[in-house]
């Protein structure tokens, strides 16, 4: 699921995820994201969310915490222009933060790495 209030960025990010082969469901406020996530089950495998979500009162930090309480295994990627410093206190464990501007390859690698099980460690 992709949560982003700015239409231009939402379209670019959606296209990038689509190019990488991911199916995307859109939400443009934190409130809509929470409604779509529901209260149980795991219809979604990953959450890609902006931090500042203009309309509504929920931030991306809030959406991710709610999403992880519904599905503890959900992949979480934050996108932010100026909230990177808060990740250490507001982010959830095992999440990735992308600072804008970021390259499409960074987004695809982030989502893919979070979804893949296992992996070889650097040596």
Interface residues toward a copy of itself, by CB under 8 A:
20-22, 65-69, 72-73, 75, 84-99, 102-106, 108-123
Contact of 27 with 1, CB cutoff 8 Å? yes
* Residue 66 burial class via C-beta count within 10 angstroms: exposed 0-12, middle 13-18, buried 19 and up: middle
| For a copy of itself, the closer CB: 41 or 122 | 122
Neighbour-count burial for 92-101, b at 16+ CB within 10 Å, e otherwise? beebbbbeee
Least distance CB 81 / a copy of itself (angstroms): 14
| For a copy of itself, the closer CB: 42 or 55 | 42
Least distance CB 7 / a copy of itself (angstroms): 20
- What is the number of alpha carbons within 13 Å of residue 44 lying toward its C-beta? 28
Least distance CB 79 / a copy of itself (angstroms): 11
| For a copy of itself, the closer CB: 27 or 47 | 47
| For a copy of itself, the closer CB: 54 or 61 | 61
Spatial separation of the C-alpha atoms in residues 97 and 36, rounded to whole Å: 22
Least distance CB 91 / a copy of itself (angstroms): 5
């Amino acid at each position: 699921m992709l949560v982003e209030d700015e239409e231009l960025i939402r379209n670019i990010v959606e296209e990038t995820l689509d190019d990488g082969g991911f199916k995307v469901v859109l939400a443009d406020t934190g409130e809509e994201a929470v409604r779509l996530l529901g209260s149980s089950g795991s219809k979604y495998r990953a959450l890609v969310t902006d931090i500042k979500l203009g309309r509504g009162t929920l931030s991306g930090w809030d959406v991710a915490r709610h999403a992880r309480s519904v599905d503890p295994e959900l992949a979480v990627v934050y996108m932010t222009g100026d909230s990177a410093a808060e990740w250490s206190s507001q982010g959830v464990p095992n999440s990735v933060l992308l600072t804008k501007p970021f390259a499409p390859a960074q987004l695809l690698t982030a989502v893919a790495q979070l979804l893949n099980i296992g992996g070889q460690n650097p040596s």
